[in-house]
Amino acid sequence: PAARAAGPGLEERLFQQVRDHFSFETCGNETFPQRYLVSAKFWKKGFGPIFFYTGNEGDIWTFAQNSDFIFELAEEEQALVIFAEHRYYGKSLPFGLESTQLKKTGLLTVEQALADYAVLITELKQQYGAADCPVIAFGGSYGGMLSAYMRMKYPNIVAGALAASAPLLSVAGLGDPTQFFRDVTADFQKSSPGCVTAVRKAFQQIKDLCLSGAYDEISSKMATCNKISNKEDVYQLFGFARNAFTMMAMMDYPYKTDFMGHLPANPVKVGCEQIIAHTDPVQGLAALVGVFYNSSGSAQCYDIYQLYQSCADPTGCGIGSDAEAWDYQVCTEINLTFNSNNVTDMFPEMPFTEAMREQYCWRKWHVRPRAHWLRTNFWGGDLKSASNIIFSNGNLDPWAGGGINSSLSPSLIALTIKGGAHHLDLRGHNPADPPSVTEARKLEASIINGWVKSAGMERAREKRSGASAGGWL
């Protein structure tokens, strides 16, 4: 697997990780194999910094293959690069293939994941003879939240963090529930004003057809594999369609990507062209969602229950076992009660209230979400006592509205990337990049370089004063 085309010289390894960091009973002395990827290609052994990617909700190779900026910077800084996989995702399964079954999910928390990273960094520094090498955490999206949290919770281990597109406020329940789909709508509006009108018209026509019982017409125009036969099916169709818009807005990169699905360059623009080219708005909508769901062009129809599974994250959980793990996380600590209302956004009204979330989570996982826990444990929006964190957001990214968009102190720096979608800055340079992301990467590089230097100077100072007993006392 190490031969996969990801950053230079990555090797896949396993680390025997503690199953439960916060108990000395039962699981506390048991371990599970946690996967991580490591590249020492650019490392100045024993001296260069350590760049540590805090893995998020998926296979760690996916993130390694889409974060070339980290390798470009590692070459400049002569850094050791580590991508660590998040517990319960990819192959890092505390209870093997049963990990996402009821009663086995209890150890899937943000706190356990951060503790995994803290333990892994500590052990690997030992192994590599890197005791004096400063660690910089990197992450995008949920991974960006984790990199910020690492700096907040373990400043003894991590000297600084780049938190790209990290929705720190919305996940703590501090956002506006209409914000997300309003911003997805705004992306399509910016692309071409006629686009939103056409989308609204398409959804309205589907609603009208549904009310008159013309389910066959909906099925044939939307090219569903199975006949739509009731209101539940129409609601599923709405969720399925809305998810395509979400993904296209998040991945609205200026060149084609294979990050979370195969998408062309500027997918929002491509999607709008599709719907506007059709005289029938519903058939146009089917073509638009095909930019995401039928990128190969070979699908004859859409299996709407297979391609989209609704969950406790209205922006989508994906499919497969990683999706199950994420569903559990958004049922416990991470709050994503976004809804669409057809007023501030172009989508059908699809409410998702605290009560609906509670009901779903209890039925599916036998857990009750703790709406305020992230605010308590990870400070909500009151981050000013932290330091050395960059919060970067792209103005095309619907997640940006739930993140930190203005600097909180000289060392808590917010960057906005004009024309950037979801953590574009973590991707490698590309000729099609907007100038703003090139600038942002330069600034990130120089800030990180400063952190590395001052951590090095502090180490040297400690060593000198350590020789004289008593330190500062």
Residues with catalytic annotation?
141, 397, 422
Q: Using alpha carbons only, give the angle 420, 331, 354 rounded to the nearest 5 degrees.
A: 90
Instruction: Please state, in angstroms and rounded to a whole number, the distance separating the CA atoms of residues 92 and 75.
Output: 28
Query: What is the token pair recorded at 212?
Result: 């008159």
Query: What is the token pair recorded at 48?
Result: 């260069």
Q: Are strands 31-39 and 160-164 parallel, antiparallel or unpaired?
A: unpaired
Beta bridge partners of 84: 36, 54
Instruction: Please state, in angstroms and rounded to a whole number, the distance separating the CA atoms of residues 432 and 449.
Output: 26
Contact 271, 293 (CB under 8 A): no
In the chain, what's the furthest Cα-to-Cα distance?
86
